[in-house]
Amino acid sequence: MEMKDIILKVNYYSKLSKERALNSHEEAERAKYRKMYLEQFRSQVKGHLDNIKIVDNQENNNIN
């Protein structure tokens, strides 16, 4: 599932929870989409960090 679709679901359940109490099925769905969001978010951040290249003033590659 794409991130934009996950965000739509998370926002839907967030809005719904402000209007009324969620039933157990809706709470489970909300938890599932929140977990999916966090997993994909972490994966994206890790991917960006893994692609960072540190170069000093003399343009020597440094790996931490």
Instruction: Report DSSP letters for the chain, one per residue.
Output: --HHHHHHHHHHHHHHHHHS---HHHHHHHHHHHHHHHHHHHHHHHHHHHT--EE-TT--EE--
Model pTM?
Answer: 0.74
Quote the pLDDT of residue 36. 97
Quote the pLDDT of residue 13. 96
Quote the pLDDT of residue 45. 96
When divided into structural domains, the chain yields a total of 1
Domain contains 29: yes
Q: Where are the strands (E) in the chain, listed by range?
A: 54-55, 61-62
Quote the pLDDT of residue 1. 87
Query: Do the beta carbons of residue 6 and residue 36 sit within 8 Å?
Result: yes
What CATH number has the domain bearing residue 27?
A: 1.10.287
Q: What is the mean pLDDT of each run of 10 residues along the chain (64 residues)?
A: 94 96 96 97 95 78 60
Domain contains 34: yes
> Domain limits at 39?
3-53
Start-to-end CA distance of the chain, whole Å, equals 33
Quote the pLDDT of residue 59. 65
